[in-house]
């Protein structure tokens, strides 16, 4: 990867300064958010309990609210995976989009309620009591109405944050075609006209043979990509791409520990890369065969690919044959 001349290495943009601490900020944000929500919810519940005919002990209220927010915090990776799986909302696919979120919200709510019940039962058992959840059907319906609001707010927040990071990181695009005359090969001199041969006596003229059709040209594939990050530009060689990942309506290019985005689908972008070098190994992943360090078989026919950059890429059973064929031809 080459940097465009004129760009100073000492001037790091906002995204590059944020990237080293991004994971810590994201994890810390959710911990702080869930803690604050749990504290405020507990305070409100304690005040409400004082006005009830049968007051509850403070430790019970803390257990109820704390267990709910603790399980939600543990489910944040699931929210992130669901949002990425179902994004984006494409024209003509709104039914799948809505149905997917409805199914996901029901599944997450069931896990949330079951997790709350397990934590509360454990705390009550340690206190020498027993936690009564009530009727599962009616109680879960009540909890689901609350969980739907939480589901929508969390998924929307994750989507907005991901969209902001995509805009901050910038997009990649293929370099413009070279101007005419810059890299075009010189034209070959015209061939001399064929010398006429004397016709044979009383022989009919031989029919002219049609020239063979020209061989189809291989599809043009760019050797480099121009990547923009804010006001900085980089050149990336196609062979330097370690692996690719579909991210909604973007394709993430992973190059030497850096991530770059291109607005395209993974299927369309792979047509611009050499099929002898790049192979799709998952519904949302493709790899550079030369960058694979180790193939780790998993149960069920799947595999985990260990790359030279230290990352791992999933390989589903559906694409194992393509991977074997690609590795065999590359070897």
Q: What is the DSSP string of 252-298?
A: EEEETTEEEEESS-HHHHHTTS-TTTEEEEETTEEEEGGGEEEEEE-
Nearest Cα residue to 261 out of 283, 281, 239, 234: 234
What is the reported pLDDT for 106? Answer: 95
pLDDT in tens, 156-184: 999 899 878 877 766 666 654 444 443 34
Q: Does the pLDDT at position 274 exceed 70?
A: yes
91: burial class by Cβ within 10 Å (0-12, 13-18, 19+)?
A: exposed
Q: Which two tokens stand for residue 43?
A: 């305070």
What is the reported pLDDT for 1? Answer: 44
- Between CA 160 and CA 168, with CA 162 as vertex, the angle to 5 degrees is 105
Q: What is the DSSP string of 175-237?
A: PPPPPTTTSPPPPPPPPPPPPPPPPPTTPPPPPPPPPPPPPPPPPP--SEEEEEETTEEEEEE
What is the reported pLDDT for 48? Answer: 84
Buried b (16+ CB within 10 A) or exposed e, 176-193: eeeeeeeeeeeeeeeeee
Contact indicator for 259, 270 with CB cutoff of 8 Å:
no
Beta bridge pairs of residue 244: 253, 286
What is the reported pLDDT for 5? Answer: 40
Buried b (16+ CB within 10 A) or exposed e, 123-146: bbeeeeeebeeeeeeeebeebbee
Mean pLDDT is highest, among 109-123, 130-144, 230-244, for: 109-123
Q: How far apart are the first and last CA of the chain?
A: 25
CATH number of 220-330: 2.40.50.1020
φ and ψ at residue 226, rounded to 5 degrees: -95, 120
What is the reported pLDDT for 279? Answer: 94
**Banded pLDDT at 226 (limits 50, 70, 90):** confident
pLDDT in tens, 35-68: 999 999 999 988 887 777 667 788 999 999 999 9
**Banded pLDDT at 123 (limits 50, 70, 90):** very high
- Cα Rg, the chain, nearest whole Å: 30
Beta bridge pairs of residue 89: none
Q: How far out from the chain centre does Cα 127 lie?
A: 45
Q: How far apart are CA 115 and CA 19, in angstroms?
A: 33
For 197-218, what is the mean pLDDT? 60
φ and ψ at residue 306, rounded to 5 degrees: -95, 120
What's the pTM value of the predicted model, to 2 decimals?
0.59
Q: How far out from the chain centre does Cα 167 lie?
A: 15
CA-CA distances (angstroms) from residue 167 to 87, 228, 261?
Answer: 16, 11, 10
Cβ count near 276 (within 10 Å) = 10
Every domain of the chain and the residues it spans: 11-169, 220-330
C-alpha dihedral, 130 to 133 to 134 to 135, nearest 10°: -130
């Amino acid at each position: 990867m080459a940097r465009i001349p004129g760009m100073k290495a000492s001037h790091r943009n906002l995204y590059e300064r944020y990237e080293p601490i991004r994971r810590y900020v994201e994890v810390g944000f959710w911990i702080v958010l869930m803690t604050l929500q749990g504290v405020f919810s507990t305070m409100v519940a304690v005040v409400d309990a004082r006005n009830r005919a049968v007051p509850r002990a403070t430790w019970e209220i803390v257990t109820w609210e704390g267990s709910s927010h603790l399980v939600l915090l543990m489910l944040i990776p699931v929210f992130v995976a669901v949002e990425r799986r179902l994004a984006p909302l494409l024209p003509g696919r709104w039914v799948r989009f809505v149905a997917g979120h409805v199914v996901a919200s029901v599944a997450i709510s069931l896990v949330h309620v079951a997790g709350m019940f397990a934590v509360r039962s454990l705390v009550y058992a340690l206190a020498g009591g027993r936690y009564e959840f009530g009727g599962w059907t009616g109680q879960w319906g009540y909890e689901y109405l609350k969980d739907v609001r939480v589901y929508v707010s969390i998924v929307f927040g994750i989507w907005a944050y991901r969209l902001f990071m995509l805009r901050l990181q910038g997009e990649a695009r293929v370099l413009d075609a070279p101007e005419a005359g810059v890299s075009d090969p010189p034209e070959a001199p015209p061939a001399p006209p064929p010398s006429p041969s004397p016709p044979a006596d009383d022989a009919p003229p031989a029919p002219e043979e049609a020239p063979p059709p020209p061989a189809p040209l291989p599809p043009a594939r760019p050797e480099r990509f121009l990547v923009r990050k804010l006001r900085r530009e980089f050149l990336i060689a196609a062979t330097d791409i370690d692996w690719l990942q579909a991210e909604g309506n973007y394709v993430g290019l992973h190059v030497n520990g850096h991530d770059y985005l291109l607005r395209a689908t993974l299927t369309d972008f792979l047509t611009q890369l050499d099929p002898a070098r790049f192979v799709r190994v998952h519904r949302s992943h493709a790899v550079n065969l030369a960058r694979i360090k180790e193939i780790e078989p998993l149960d069920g026919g799947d595999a985990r690919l260990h790359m030279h950059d230290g990352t791992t890429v999933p390989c589903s059973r559906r694409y194992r044959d393509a991977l074997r064929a690609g590795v065999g031809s590359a070897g």
